[in-house]
């Protein structure tokens, strides 16, 4: 079998190769844009979290929080809490 190269065949092959490269670069750009958007979304979430934490700290700045049995809000400790009465010693 003898294969002859023609000018149209060579141009067709060059156009196919160039088209493939263009398509691969386009897909690569789309993937890079998607990755950048995901990173930006994560960064914005971290910034919102830090801002919320900062505002919470500023809201409670200077306040004293005493953690005790009366201040707990968990349902498992509600039955265990007892009031103790103290007598004055003279």
Which two structure tokens, joined as six digits, stand for 6? 């023609």
Dihedral sign from CA coordinates of 66, 72, 77, 83: positive
pTM, rounded to two decimals: 0.50
**C-alpha radius of gyration, the chain, whole number:** 35
Quickly list H helices, 1-90. 7-59
Residues of the chain scoring pLDDT < 70: 68-81
The pLDDT, as a whole number, for residue 26 is 98
What does the alpha-carbon distance between residue 66 and residue 72 come to, in Å, rounded to a whole number?
10
């Amino acid at each position: 079998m003898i294969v002859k190269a023609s000018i149209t065949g060579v141009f067709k092959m060059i156009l196919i190769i160039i088209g493939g490269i263009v398509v691969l670069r386009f897909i690569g750009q789309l993937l890079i844009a998607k990755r950048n958007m995901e990173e930006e979304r994560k960064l914005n979430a971290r910034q919102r979290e830090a801002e919320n934490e900062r505002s919470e700290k500023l809201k409670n700045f200077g306040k004293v929080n005493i953690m005790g049995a009366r201040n707990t809000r968990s349902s498992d400790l509600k039955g265990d809490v007892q009031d103790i009465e103290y007598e004055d010693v003279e």
